[in-house]
Amino acid sequence: MTTDDLYTSASRTLDPAAAAQAIRDGKAVLGIELGSTRIKACLVRADDPSTVLAVGAHAWENAFVDRLWTYAIDDVWSGLQAAYADLAADVHRRYDVGLEALAAIGVSAMMHGYLAFGADGELLTGFRTWRNTHTARAAAELSGLFGLNIPLRWSIAHLYQAVLDEEPHVGEVTFFTTLAGYVHWKLTGRTVLGVGDASGMFPIDSSTRDYDAALLEKFDRLLSERGHERTVSDLLPEVLVAGEPAGHLTAEGAVLLDPSGALQAGVPLCPPEGDAGTGMVATCSVAPRTGNVSAGTSIFAMVVLEHPLSRVHHELDLVTTPAGDAVAMVHCNNGASELAAWVGLFDRFAAIAGGRLGSDEVFEALFREALDGDPDAGGLLAYNHLAGEPIAGLSEGRPLFVRTPDSRFTLANFMRAQLYGVFGTLALGMRVLGDEGVAIDRMFAHGGVFRTAGVAQRFLAGALDAPVAVGETASEGGAWGIAVLAAYLVDAEELDLDAYLRERVFGAASVHTVVPHPDDVAGFASYLARYRSGLVVESAAVTAL
pLDDT (tens digit, 9 = 90+) per residue, 500-534?
A: 999 999 887 778 899 999 999 999 999 999 999 99
- Please state the φ and ψ torsions of residue 115, each to the nearest 5 degrees: -125, 110
Strand order in 299-304's β-sheet?
A: 317-320, 326-332, 299-304, 290-295, 442-446, 468-471, 511-514
Q: Any idea of the CA torsion for 152, 435, 430, 476, to the nearest 10 degrees?
A: -110
CATH architecture of 112-176+202-235: 2-Layer Sandwich (3.30)
pLDDT of residue 8: 36
Contacts of 545 (CB under 8 A, 6+ apart): 398
Q: Which of 515, 407, 389 is nearest to 462 (CA)?
A: 515
Q: In the structure, what pLDDT confidence band is assigned to residue 182 with cuts at 50, 70 and 90?
A: very high
pLDDT surpasses 80 at 237 = yes
Can you give the pLDDT at residue 476? 55
Please give the average per-residue pLDDT across 104-125, as a whole number: 96
Task: Report the CATH number of the 275-334+429-514 domain.
Answer: 3.30.420.40
Give CA–CA dist 96/161, Å, rounded.
52
Q: Which tens digits make up the pLDDT trace of 123-167?
A: 999 999 998 989 999 999 999 999 999 999 999 999 999 999 999
Cα 207 to Cα 66: distance, rounded to the nearest angstrom: 41
Q: What is the pLDDT of residues 375-398, one digit of tens each?
A: 999 999 999 999 999 899 998 999
pLDDT reading at 204 higher than 70: yes
Q: Domain ranges in the chain?
A: 1-111+178-196+240-274, 112-176+202-235, 275-334+429-514, 337-422+519-544
β-pairing, 210-211 vs 204-205, is antiparallel
Pairing, β 104-109 against β 326-332: unpaired
The pLDDT value given to residue 412: 98
- Out of 16-30, 136-150, 289-303, pick the least confident: 289-303
The reply to whether 275-334+429-514 shares the fold of 1-111+178-196+240-274 is yes
What is the pLDDT at residue 13? 52
Cα 139 to its chain centre, rounded Å, is 21
The pLDDT of residue 521 is 97
pTM of the shown model = 0.84
**Cβ proximity of 304 and 285 under 8 Å:** yes
Determine which helix (DSSP H) or strand (DSSP E) holds 64, and give its type and residue range. strand 63-65
Helix axes 411-435 and 337-352, enclosed angle (nearest 10): 170
Q: Determine the Cα–Cα distance for residues 228 and 58; give it in Å rounded to an integer.
A: 41
Query: Are the C-beta atoms of residues 480 and 10 closer than 8 Å to each other?
Result: no
Q: Across residues 287-293, what is the average pLDDT? A: 91
Mapped onto helix, strand or coil, the DSSP state of residue 136 is helix
What is the pLDDT at residue 533? 97
Q: What is the mean pLDDT of the chain?
A: 93
Sign of the C-alpha dihedral, residues 449, 450, 453, 459? positive
Q: How many Å apart are CA 542 and CA 453, to the nearest integer?
A: 35
- Name the superfamily (CATH) of residues 1-111+178-196+240-274: ATPase, nucleotide binding domain (3.30.420.40)
pLDDT class of 472 with cuts at 50, 70, 90? low
3-state DSSP percent of the chain in helix, strand and coil, to 5? 45, 20, 40
Give pLDDT tens digits for 416-444: 999 999 999 999 999 999 999 998 888 99
